Amino acid sequence: MPPVEDGPLHALGIGALQAAYAAGATDPVAVVAALTGRIAGHPSGRDAVLALVPGAEAAAEESARRIGTRRARPLEGVPFGIKDIIDCAGAPVTCGSRLTGDRVAEADATVVARLRAAGAIPLAMLATTEFACGSAHNPRYGAVANPWNRARWTGGSSTGSGAALAARLMPLALGTDTGGSIRVPSAWCGVTGLKPTRGLVPRTGVAPLSWTLDHVGPMARSAADLARVMPWIAGPDGTDPHAAGRYDATRARGVSDLRVGVAEGWFTAMQDDAVLAAWQAMLTLLERQGARLVPVDLGPVATAHQDGYTIVMAELAALQEPDLDRAAALDPGTRARMDQGRLFSATDYLRALRRRPVVLAQVLDALADVDVLVTPGLGGEAASLDSLTVEVNGEAHPLQAVLPRNTMLFDYTGLPALMLPTGLGRTGLPVAAQVVGKPYDDALCLGVGAAFQRETEYHLRAPREKRPPTPGQS
In whole angstroms, give the CA distance from residue 198 to residue 98. Answer: 30
Question: Considering 157, 158, 186, 210, which one is annotated as catalytic?
Answer: 157
In whole angstroms, give the CA distance from residue 301 to residue 359. Answer: 9
Question: Considering 181, 186, 210, 222, which one is annotated as catalytic?
Answer: 181
In whole angstroms, give the CA distance from residue 171 to residue 32. Answer: 11
DSSP 8-state class, residue 240: -
Phi/psi of residue 391, nearest 5 degrees: -85, 130
What is the three-class DSSP state of 392? strand
Distance of CA 331 to the CA centre of its chain: 22
Phi/psi of residue 212, nearest 5 degrees: -100, -10
Helices 14-23 and 223-233: crossing angle in degrees, nearest 10, is 80
In whole angstroms, give the CA distance from residue 88 to residue 69. Answer: 28
Residue 318: left (phi > 0), alpha (psi -120 to 50), or beta? Answer: alpha
State the Cα angle at 241 between 320 and 414, rounded to 5°.
80
To the query of whether residue 83 is one of the catalytic residues in this protein, the response is yes
Nearest to 302 by CA among 263, 267, 332, 326: 267
Q: Is 1 exposed, middle or buried (0-12, 13-18, 19+ CB in 10 A)?
A: exposed
262 in Cβ contact with 223 (< 8 Å): no
CB atoms within 10 A of CB 47: 22
To the query of whether residue 186 is one of the catalytic residues in this protein, the response is no
User: Which distant-in-sequence residues (6+ apart) come within 8 Å of 345 by Cβ?
Assistant: none
Question: Considering 44, 83, 158, 210, which one is annotated as catalytic?
Answer: 83
User: Which distant-in-sequence residues (6+ apart) come within 8 Å of 393 by Cβ?
Assistant: 272, 273
The per-residue DSSP string of 31-98 comes to HHHHHHHHHHHSHHHHHTEEEEPTTHHHHHHHHHHHHHTT---TTTT-EEEEETTB--TTSB--TT-G
In whole angstroms, give the CA distance from residue 95 to residue 6. Answer: 38
In whole angstroms, give the CA distance from residue 132 to residue 177. Answer: 9
432 in Cβ contact with 422 (< 8 Å): yes
Residue type at 320 in one-letter notation: Q
Residue type at 24 in one-letter notation: G
To the query of whether residue 181 is one of the catalytic residues in this protein, the response is yes
In whole angstroms, give the CA distance from residue 35 to residue 107. Answer: 24
Give me the active site residues, please: 83, 157, 181
